[in-house]
Structure 1
Amino acid sequence: MTYDLTPTTKIENYEFAFSGYQRISTYLTEQIVNQLKKKADVTIAIECYPGVDTDDLKQQLVDKLPVDQSYFADDYAMTPESLNQKVADTVTDDRVLGVMSHYQVADFYPDIKTVRADIVTGSGVTVVYGTGATVLASNPDILIYCDLARWEIQLRYRAGMPNWQQDNADEDPLRKFKRGYFFEWRMADRLKRQLLPKTDYLLDTNDKSEPKLITGKDLLASLKVLTKQPYRTVPYFDASVWGGQWMKQHFDLPDNGQNYGWAFDGVPEENSLYFQYGKVRIEVPAMDLMLTNPESILGDRVFARFGAEFPIRFDYLDTMSGGNLSLQVHPMTEYIKDKYGMAYTQDESYYILDAKSDSSVYLGLKDGIDHKQLATDFYKSAAGEIKFPDEKYVNHLPAKKHDHFLIPAGTIHCGGSDTVVLEISATPYIFTFKMWDWGRIGLDGKPRPLHVDEGLENLQYNRTTDWVQKNLVNQFTPLTTNSHERVERTGLHATLEFIDTNRHWIKDEAVLKTQGSVNMLNLVEGEEAMIESTTGDFAPFHVNYGETFIVPSGVKTYRIHNLHPENGEIGVLQAFVKE
């Protein structure tokens, strides 16, 4: 079997699923007519996630409905100038880093009462559409939510789409992404969390040529299905200046003329979910599951600590026939909280999925280095005056398949070339302080952003060669051995990182426990496996080599079958939040 690029959950019982604006507008017209039989005035709110093409929505849907008056919500929001003044503290001047926003969508509508009064006094059929539609029409007769995946938003940024309420089509996509990550998506998700439980219809707008409509009740029921069974998020892949060719070959990816350095497979904040309703496939952000069912997925203990945030992420870093990653540091917890408004930081690890004879990882500082000279050389290299002498300051360690390097925040690190890394980390992935990037230019033709000041403020100088070897390299501890499997703890750091990982080498089958936490797993060795319920509560779930999958905390126990025991053991890496 091959890596599944479109993991999809089939839904058996549902009311309907329509595709195409013509069929959708016909159906919605029927619902409006039915409402008019009950009351003289009908209000429809079409709430849009930032990034939805509202011009297309108006032309293809709003204008096709039997409407007496329509309001474009964005017209009543703050002017771009006023909005920018208000959010300057969260967007910042930095190219990639901002401060987590606590704004609500309603904060950007200065005259809500007046517009609401106009809507209430309108006669016949009134449609309010756009981002903030439900702020202005707070009690609509029909509520439609237009959803959009974050990867699609990023692709639209690159293609020239501006941010919400901005005229910045030509701006650096990194700045657009930053504005979305720190500001727009935060306020939109807060509103979405309130709206999904009472949404009448979900409109999937990811494919402009083929929008899709289901009922809000069917969406909630579909999301509920995933709280009781294993599931996968929809992976996406992206090129990088250091990217390699391994994933292209092993995951049957299309030739993009470059490389695939990144694979986001197991990043619920970024990935999507696919649901199949008959012939119609709906795509929704995986965050919708966290916004509606966080406790069921995470478990009581993890939810109490992190709230409605998925705290673990898996992704791939492919440098086969590529180059080194950047030499970097992640912020310490107190730093990321004070400066960026995050409650926890990006502790992580590198699990080596594949390697060549010369594969390597840079990790920790060498013994006896001059700290002042280190800082001086970082600044000189950032200014282009010298090539940073990494061999003088940083440990360069050999890496082989199935090694595991632990990287608590504050540890200088870098993945080497000719290596495939399964990166296991805490969710706040954007907070990377690049200190040296080997003098490269990004794929956009611009120098990649460096954050030497921030890196030096967080660099832990006591993590030197001996400490690294004793604490961060292959910290394997045998846990269980029997006739079916052998289990070993592989990390992460026992006291500095909240994620734990166990590696299961399974001969035929093994029963795993969720450990009171959501589990994220990857088949790191072997062709394929089957995940089964020990209680018969879910259908067998198939996984292929390299696929990341999630098991909700409430499953408690599950069985993993090696489908080809004649070929030897399979390896499954299991991550969870430790007690």
Structure 2
Amino acid sequence: MTTTTKPTKNYNQSPTVRIKECEDQAWQGYDRIAQALQSRISSLSASKSVLVIECYPSVRQDEIIQALESRLEPALVIRAEEAALPGEQIKQEIRKYLTDDRVFGFMSPSKIEEFYDIDRLRQLKDQANAVDNGIVVIIGFGASLVSEGDVLVYADLARWEIQQRYRSKEFGNWRLDNHEEEILRKYKGGFFFEWRMADRLKRRLFDKIDYYLDTNAKDDPKMVTYEALMSGLRQTASQPFRLVPYFDPGVWGGTWLEEHIDLPRQEKPYAWGFDGVPEENSLYFQYGSIRLELPSINLVFFQSRELLGDRVLARFGAEFPIRFDLLDTIGGGNLSLQVHPTTDYIKQTFGMTYTQDESYYILDSKPGALVYLGVKEDTDAERMWGDLERAQAGEISFPAERYINAYEAKKHEHFLIPAGTIHCSATDCMVLEISATPYIFTFKLWDWDQVGLDGKPRPVHLEHGSKVMQWDRRTEWVENELMNRAETVTEGTGWREERTGLHELQFIETRRHWFSEPVTHEANGSVHMLNLVEGEEAVVESPDGQFDPFVVRYAETFIVPASVQRYTVRPSGPSAGQTIATIKAFVRA
């Protein structure tokens, strides 16, 4: 079923959750934040107060100190990280987790206490205790190790903002003087080590905080009380919502994102659109006139059951296992020819408990667009791998057409890609990638003689790829198991539900609904992630009034928490009376 609806450029780039309570518990700017903190400290009626500001790595601590010194006039400011181990010592201790690879490491189980000197911590505590009057400010990643404090502030920021600070060389990794190091290695340090350690501390500390500080925007902080933050998280976990999207250039980037989402022009074309990756994206909470930005992973951590559902939480823990993102090669180049690790390999090699099974849903394409998927029936594995090695050595360009199946990619087709299957989206595809979350684990096998935006060859991982490549994923199996799997599940007046995948080897189920009338969705124990893949606009509604009507537009990804037991979706606005479509992903029972 197709339509002639032509989507317009009304994609919402700043989706916001308007919090219905606690407007008087939010402050913006250092003047008002300092006034709120001073009021709280004064209410303690003590001659001395300890203000602890626990920071996520890459928070601009100097900015906070300078702002509060001039406004609160503290008797003493203690930088907690003066008690941390030297960077080079930390680097040696975590070497086994970070490895020498440019991209991959092993998920570190480290806790922050391992990287602080006990004697030095005691000295800082003694300094704080020696003050008899006034305010003592203790700040840093690990500030809460020095003192529990009388007032505890948690200073946070989004992962995407951290990456921007890495890229601009404003920040290196925690305790390391590696500002000039390439972004791949700095990102690896964050992903495998410091973010894991920081998240463990955040989860342990969170119900003890008094205030939450948003430090994403330079010199423009926002702060809310713990009660206001939790009110926002509870509300969000009880209604449909969207994450704050971001878009990034790439060597193979195309023109579709810029044209359809009305993004600003830039020198390098957009390749990725991320609006469904809770570990990377953020949320906007609106408290009256103040908009707070927070990492969306906080919702996963602190509203796990309501968001994920008991069954998903029991299986994955406090992790969001589904990811939607956009890959734009229209007018651009090919993605790398690649393969993802099998579950056993990713567990043994990288410490992950599940792997990056994925799929390509073709949101749009041009005539002649291709998807490479699986090897041809007559492919000689040894010969093909020899050519990959020769290509990596620069001796030849890898003849992909000789070994790899190439299929025409048409709008609304869904290609399934269980781990271990060689694949690639070629030029002129607009892909909605639906996959499991461990998205960093891509083994590039051939990069079509391309180099990265930095002018350097992108990492190729033939050794890893050789250990996970499933050579039985050949033409007949691919065409029977991974393509054209759409089948009608059920239908009613004005709607039809189809199962489009994923493969039985994958834990994600996808359902496409074509509808011109309202269609009902049941939670069935799992969080849902959806995208409006056809039509200009739809509205999500609650049959029992649990949440306000929620409008979504073409190509927007949205999440419906498991706590929403039932909801309806219908065409609205310019799409009213037309046939439109959503694709929905959830965790199989």
TM-score norm. by structure 2 comes to: 0.96
The secondary structure found in structure 1 opposite 2:218 is coil
Partner secondary structure for residue 417 of structure 1 = coil
* 1:514-553 correspondence to structure 2 within 5 Å: 514-553=523-562
Map of 1:196 onto structure 2: 206
Name the counterpart of 2:11.
Answer: 3
Per-residue deviation, residues 221-263 of structure 1 (Å, max 9, x unmatched): 1001011100100000000000001011111111122211000
**8 Å contact 1:48–1:145 — kept in the other structure?**
yes
Find the counterpart in structure 2 of residue 503 from structure 1: 512
Is the contact between residue 420 and residue 470 of structure 2 (CA under 8 Å) also seen in structure 1? yes
The C-alpha deviation readout for 1:272-310, integer Å capped at 9, x for no partner, is 000111111000000010111111110000000000000
Which aligned pairs between 1:89-168 and structure 2 lie closer than 5 A? 89-111=96-118, 112-124=121-133, 125-137=135-147, 139-160=148-169, 161-168=171-178
CA distance in 2, matches of 1:4, 1:566: 19
Report the residue type matching 1:522 in the other structure: N
Q: 1:43-58, aligned counterparts within 5 Å?
A: 43-58=50-65
**Structure 1 gap ranges (5+):** none
- Which amino acid in structure 2 is aligned with residue 345 of structure 1? T
Give, as a single letter, the amino acid of the residue that structure 2 aligns with 1:393: Y
Work out whether residues 63 and 219 of structure 2, in 8 Å CA contact, stay in contact via their aligned partners in 1: no
Q: Which residue of 2 aligns with 1:83?
A: 90
Q: Are positions 1:254 and 2:261 aligned together?
A: no
Q: Is the 8 A contact 1:515 1:576 kept in 2?
A: no
- Residue 449 (1) aligns with residue 459 (2): yes
CA spacing shift, 1:164–1:63, aligned 2, 3 Å: farther
Percent identity between the two aligned chains: 50
Structure 2: distance between partners of 1:230 and 1:198: 28
Amino acid at match of 1:103: S
Cα distance, 1:332–1:116 mapped onto 2, change above 3 Å: same
Q: Secondary structure at the match of 1:265?
A: strand
Q: Is the Cα contact below 8 Å between 2:537 and 2:575 reproduced in 1?
A: no
Q: Kindly state the Cα deviation for residue 41 of structure 1 after the two structures are TM-superposed.
A: 2.7
Counterpart of 2:332 in structure 1 is 322
1:419 is the counterpart of 2:421: no
- Give 2:48's aligned residue: 41
Letter in 2 for 1:247: L
Give 1:115 deviation, angstroms: 3.4
1:175 equivalent in alignment to 2:185: yes
CA drift of 1:31 comes to 2.3
C-alpha distance in structure 2 between counterparts of 1:72 and 1:565, whole Å: 56
Q: CA deviation at 1:438?
A: 0.5
1:554 positional shift? 1.3
Match of 2:242 in 1: 232
CA distance in 2 between counterparts of 1:62 and 1:578 reads 53
Report if the CA contact (8 A) 2:346-2:352 is conserved: yes
Residue 91 of structure 2: SS of its match in structure 1?
helix
Give, as a single letter, the amino acid of the residue that structure 2 aligns with 1:73: A
Pick the aligned partner of 1:61 from 64, 68, 71: 68
Report 1:327-346 matches (<5 A). Answer: 327-346=337-356
Alignment: residue pair count: 575
* 1:463-506 superposed Cα distances (whole Å, 9 cap, x missing partner): 00000000001211210121131011000002x10000000001
SS for the counterpart of 2:345 is: helix
Residues 78 and 124 of structure 2 are in contact (CA less than 8 Å); yes or no, is this contact kept in structure 1?
no
Whichever residue aligns with residue 244 of structure 1, its letter is G
CA drift of 1:62 comes to 4.1
SS at match of 2:25: coil
Q: How does 1:222-301 map to 2 (within 5 A)?
A: 222-301=232-311
Contact (CA 8 Å) 1:197, 1:220: kept in 2 or not? no
Paired with 2:129 and 2:445, the residues of 1 have a C-alpha distance of 56
Q: Distance in 1 between matches of 2:575 and 2:75?
A: 67
Runs of 4+ in 1 over 4 A off after TM superposition: 564-567
Describe the SS at the equivalent of 1:60. Answer: helix
| 1:13 alignment counterpart | 21
For residues 424-439 of structure 1, the aligned pairs below 5 Å read: 424-439=434-449
Amino acid aligned to 2:106: V
Tell me which amino acid in the other structure corresponds to 1:4.
Answer: N
**Does the 8 Å contact 2:499/2:511 carry over to 1?**
yes
Return the alpha-carbon distance in structure 1 between the equivalents of residues 551 and 206 of structure 2.
30
Q: Distance in 1 between matches of 2:201 and 2:299?
A: 15
Q: Is the CA contact (8 Å cut-off) linking 2:516 and 2:577 kept in structure 1?
A: no
- Return the alpha-carbon distance in structure 2 between the equivalents of residues 566 and 148 of structure 1: 39
Q: Any conservation in 1 of the 2:538–2:575 contact (CA below 8 Å)? A: no
Counterpart-to-counterpart distance in 2, 1:464 and 1:229: 43
Structure 1 residue aligned with 2:483, among 469, 473, 490?
Answer: 473
Kept in 1: contact 2:526–2:586 (CA 8 A): yes
Deviation at 1:401, TM superposition (A): 0.1
Quote the offset at 1:24 in angstroms. Answer: 1.5
Residue in 1 that maps onto 2:5: none
If the length of structure 1 is used for normalisation, what is the TM-score? 0.97
